[in-house]
Structure 1
């Protein structure tokens, strides 16, 4: 049980760190949008590169924060029902969901995504616009990193749920801590 808890905490920490680092994409996204708006509005200079960069940052932000959202309990679920369950029932539901649905889905996306990114890299794919950004495989790689992080988060949930079913206290997310203090 101690091994399961240690593994769950390590995997949770990895997913959390990736999300915390990726969250900085929002700063770059905001700066890019502001620069794009200023150059369009006041300088009358449209830039396809800036527009491409906006969606690259947006995609990276979303994909790289998937695992973070899951380990923090910020993902979509029916909290009304989840709050009514005891720790063991919630652990069984989490274990079934992560084992039968989330982990296999991540594995499928990673197996198909690898070819998707590799093909883009081989072609040195760029923006369909002549003046857009080159090397589209870079942003497509965020798909692999994001779903690998989500798989790590799923494995954390699986090991944490197993530990809870074996008698350990359920793992806590920051979401649970904020609800206790009324945030």
Structure 2
């Protein structure tokens, strides 16, 4: 009972939670609502760290519902915002700290991207194997393993290619961003100076990159859990309502494929959607911090600590057309 009472304060299960954000704006004012939630985030973070079992012990149905509620809640948004603001304030005072955050976030994006980029090679090898087994050996199944083998229908392996492609798209997106591999239309950007570019970059990360990542997260979070548990949680559910639903809570992991013997772990696509949103949000923070530091320190800091993959001179000549290699 004490644990449940403490969690009530953490997740704000009171009448105000039944109000929409618009109602909160109307009743208490936007500024009061904003700073009230921001100050409360100090307590929420402390309570979450002090009582991890209250939302991470998934053997407890109520703890699982608290986790589902918290992941898409206003409280979670302000907890993340508070952490970002504290890190930013420290970074504004000590630029070395902010550079360390940038290097850490970009390094994480590079590490994840470089690992899961191998899924592209796996797709090619798997497709070759499918063609050989299906067209040449006329096999209906493929078995992998030594001793205990993993056997699935060829249609299962063929549909799994979609998942491997999703791994590359979602988990290598921020890596491609750090590497400068995304297409950019530089109608204005290429014609302005260094400091103006950094201002545009900061504006873009705050107004476009991070807000879109938040929207994708909010959609993907409940989209994921609706395919993992029943009764289905909803973004409009209050904590009290989810606590009532927890009495009938049970796991109901989606295992339906497009074909009878096809790939049956489509819930993993929903997991990747949430991971994609989180990675883009973190990279938006890193991009804002980098842009600010490069704006403050001048042109000599452009590309500072930027870890980009570079082909060796011989590899460049092999990869580029002959006339470009001569240039």
| TM > 0.5 fold call | yes
Tell me if 1:125 matches 2:251: no
Aligned-partner SS, 2:265:
coil
Question: Where does structure 2 lack aligned partners over 5 or more consecutive residues?
Answer: 1-94, 141-153, 230-251, 317-327
Alignment RMSD: 2.2
Count of residue pairs the alignment pairs up: 179
Counterpart of 2:164 (choices 40, 57, 79) is 57
Shift of 1:76: 2.0
Conservation of the 8 A alpha-carbon contact between 2:174 and 2:283:
yes
Alignment of 1:1-183 (within 5 A): 1-45=95-139, 47-79=154-186, 81-122=188-229, 123-126=252-255, 127-167=257-297, 169-172=301-304, 173=306
Query: 1 or 2, which has the higher helix percentage?
Result: 1
Shift of 1:175: 5.9
Aligned-partner SS, 1:55:
helix
Conservation of the 8 A alpha-carbon contact between 1:74 and 1:175:
no
For 2:307 and 2:186, how far apart are their aligned partners in 1? 15
Aligned-partner SS, 1:4:
helix
Q: What TM-score, normalized to structure 2?
A: 0.50
Conservation of the 8 A alpha-carbon contact between 1:19 and 1:68:
yes
Question: Where does structure 1 lack aligned partners over 5 or more consecutive residues?
Answer: none
Kindly indicate whether structure 1 or structure 2 has the higher relative contact order, using CA contacts under 8 Å at least 6 residues apart: 1
Shift of 1:101: 0.4
For 1:100 and 1:53, how far apart are their aligned partners in 2? 36
Alignment CA distance shift 1:74-1:174 (3 Å): farther
Question: Any idea what the Cα deviations from partners look like across 1:65-106, whole Å, max 9, x if unmatched?
Answer: 111111111112125654443321221111111110011101
For 1:81 and 1:69, how far apart are their aligned partners in 2? 22
Conservation of the 8 A alpha-carbon contact between 1:91 and 1:161:
yes
Aligned-partner SS, 1:128:
coil
Question: Any idea what the Cα deviations from partners look like across 1:91-142, whole Å, max 9, x if unmatched?
Answer: 1111111110011101110111011111222232121321112232123211
Conservation of the 8 A alpha-carbon contact between 2:210 and 2:281:
yes
Question: Any idea what the Cα deviations from partners look like across 1:143-183, whole Å, max 9, x if unmatched?
Answer: 122221122211110011111222251235456977xxxx5
